[in-house]
Amino acid sequence: GAVVSQHPSRVICKSGTSVKIECRSLDFQATTMFWYRQFPKQSLMLMATSNEGSKATYEQGVEKDKFLINHASLTLSTLTVTSAHPEDSSFYICSAFLAGVAGEQFFGPGTRLTVL
C-alpha cells in the first residue's frame, strides 16, 4: 500500500515557540492532504484540508493564523504550530488522499507535540 511519513515523530518545545511538522507521501503524488488533531482518549478531529498549490481550507474553530499549512509539492505538506501553548499539546496526524476509483486515504504515523 501507499506510504505516508511524518517528521518529527515527537517534539517537545517551550511555550511561545513555533513547531513545524512535515507530512510526505513517499510513493505516490497527493494533490490533497489532511491534518487531524487527536487529544488523549478522543477522536481524530479534522483541522484542515491542504491542496497542492492553493490555500488550505480550515474547519470551523481552527485558527488559520496559528496553524499554518503549506502544500508546496505533490508529496509534501507542512503544518506549523505558531506561538505554541500547552493547550496545543496533542497528537497531530496527517493523511494523503490517493485519487482514483478507490479514492483511499493513507495516514501518517502521527507527531506527538508537547508544549511546556
Partner 1 sequence: GENVEQHPSTLSVQEGDSAVIKCTYSDSASNYFPWYKQELGKRPQLIIDIRSNVGEKKDQRIAVTLNKTAKHFSLHITETQPEDSAVYFCAARAGTALIFGKGTTLSVSS
CB of 45 to partner 1, least distance (A): 8
Binding to partner 1 in span 29-48, by CB under 8 A: 32, 34, 42-46
Q: Does 62 bind partner 1 (CB under 8 A)?
A: no
As a whole number of angstroms, the distance between CA 98 and CA 92 comes to 20
Q: Does 97 bind partner 1 (CB under 8 A)?
A: yes
Q: Does 111 bind partner 1 (CB under 8 A)?
A: no
Q: Does 13 bind partner 1 (CB under 8 A)?
A: no
Quick check: helix, strand or coil at residue 24? strand
Q: Does 95 bind partner 1 (CB under 8 A)?
A: yes
Q: Does 54 bind partner 1 (CB under 8 A)?
A: no
- Considering only 7, 20, 66, 112, the residue that binds partner 1 (CB under 8 A) is 112
Question: Tell me, what DSSP letter sits at residue 59?
Answer: P
Which residues have CB under 8 Å from 59's CB, separation 6+?
45, 46, 47, 48
Report whether 10 contacts 90 (CB < 8 A): no
CB of 81 to partner 1, least distance (A): 19
Report whether 93 contacts 113 (CB < 8 A): no
Please work out, in degrees rounded to the nearest 5, the angle formed at the alpha carbon of residue 32 by the alpha carbons of 35 and 34.
10
Q: Which residues are near partner 1 by CB under 8 A?
A: 32, 34, 42-46, 49, 91, 93, 95, 97, 103-105, 107-110, 112
